[in-house]
Structures are given as C-alpha cells and as structure tokens.
Amino acid sequence: MQSKSPEKYVFVHGWSGSPGIWRHLVPHFPKKQTSFVDLGYYGALSGHEERDEAIYITHSLGTLWTLKHKRPQMKALVVVNGFASFAPFTSHRVLEAMKRRLQSDPHNQMTEFWLNADATETPPTSVLNIERLSEGLDWLAHWNEEEAVKALDVPILVLAGSEDKILPLEKMKAHWQNTPMHIKEEAGHSLPQTHADWCAEKINEFLDAAKP
C-alpha cells in the first residue's frame, strides 16, 4: 500500500522579508512537507509557481499576496501579523513617502521600518532589491482582498501582537472581526522571529481542530 504523503505547508514572508523569517518556526513541523515563496527582496524570486493544495502560513504582506494569487490552492490560511488590505493601517501618502525615501536614503528607510517592525534579524541594506521593494509598496497601496476573505471557504487563523506598531491591535480586531484571533501580549510585528514557539502552538491547535 502506498504511504500517504505528508501534508504540505507553504510559507510566504512579508514586505522586505525573506524565507529566513520562518527559520525558527519551521522546525516545529518536522513531519510536514514545507516550501517557501520568496518575493525577491534580496534573493531570487521563487515558489510563485506552486500549484499543489496546501496550508498557507503567511506573514504581513505575504497574507495579501497569498489571497491574491493562491486562493484555489488554499486548504487553510494562517495569518501572522497579516492583512487583506493595508489601507486601514497606513495611508497612500505614507507609502509614497517611503517609496521616495527608498530611492534617496534606502539604509535609513529600511532601518527605521525594521525597528518599527520589531525585526530581530535583518539583511545588510546593500543587498536589497530597491525595485522589488518599491513594487511591494505599490501592492500595499493598491491591492485589496477583503472580498476574497469573505468568499473563502477554508479555515482561517489570525495571530497578532498586542504591541504591533505596523498593525495596531484595535485596527486588527476590526479588520479580522469575524475570524478567530489569538493575541500575544507584549509582542510586535515579527512574531515568527520573536515568538516562534507560541506561533507553532497556536497553529498546531488550529489545524488539529480543523481536521475532519
């Protein structure tokens, strides 16, 4: 008898991130098949061609990207510091200012953003792909997948940080008001880096409960 293949988890990072943000979380799922989408901010684009059904575990902009591109393949969606539209959290004016500063002063722009995002591991700014980052800011400004969320017929879990400066908690509660949410106290916008154990616990509980 052919053995059943392990369940597939696909991880999608956020703006200015890379698959490296998941390195503390992935070891918590040793019996799962894992793959990664890389949006190309300081590495090669990869994982976009994924066609298998999978559980998508997403961070920040990665949630929006997944909702736009991977709904047909989605068996469940885990949202870590993520959103279906960035408009409730940041204005177009702020995003346009970030685009201009990316061109004129990328080091300080990214250092300031990562500080606000509570990132604990960041690349040297010299290796960043400014063109891809600018494109990502356009996605944040213009994409809106809130209607897609309403139409989804798969389990969804949201994990949020009570001190997230990018996605303030009260706005997150309003944004995901009809979706189960767990909140990590005294945590910010980089839960996969700063609280991987807690994320894994909540993800496993959620997926165990979602099994038929």
In the structure encoding, which two tokens stand for residue 160, read together?
A: 């949020």
Cα 34 to Cα 8, 77, 95, 189: the distances in Å are 6, 15, 32, 23
In the structure encoding, which two tokens stand for residue 192, read together?
A: 């996969």
**Does some domain include residue 3?**
no
**Does some domain include residue 29?**
yes
User: How many structural domains is the chain composed of?
Assistant: 1
**Does some domain include residue 86?**
yes
**Does some domain include residue 1?**
no
Chunked mean pLDDT (size 10), the chain, 212 residues: 70 96 97 94 83 95 98 97 98 97 96 96 90 98 97 97 99 97 98 99 95 75
- Cα separation of 196 and 31, whole Å? 17
**Does some domain include residue 2?**
no
Q: Which helix (H) or strand (E) holds 210?
A: helix 196-210
- Cα separation of 196 and 174, whole Å? 25
Pure H helices in 76-190: 92-104, 106-116, 130-142, 146-151, 169-175
User: Which pLDDT score is estimated for 1?
Assistant: 36
In the structure encoding, which two tokens stand for residue 64, read together?
A: 């929006």
User: Which pLDDT score is estimated for 111?
Assistant: 95
User: Which pLDDT score is estimated for 5?
Assistant: 64
Q: What is the CATH number of the domain that holds 113?
A: 3.40.50.1820
For 198-209, the pLDDT digits (tens) are 999 999 999 999
**Does some domain include residue 16?**
yes
User: Which pLDDT score is estimated for 3?
Assistant: 45
Q: What is the DSSP string of 12-79?
A: E--TT--GGGGTTTGGG-TTSEEEEEB--SSS--BSTT--S-EEEEEETHHHHHHHHH-GGGEEEEEE
**Does some domain include residue 201?**
yes
User: Which pLDDT score is estimated for 50?
Assistant: 76
User: Which pLDDT score is estimated for 49?
Assistant: 79
For residue 122, the enclosing domain spans 8-210
User: Which pLDDT score is estimated for 4?
Assistant: 59
**Does some domain include residue 173?**
yes
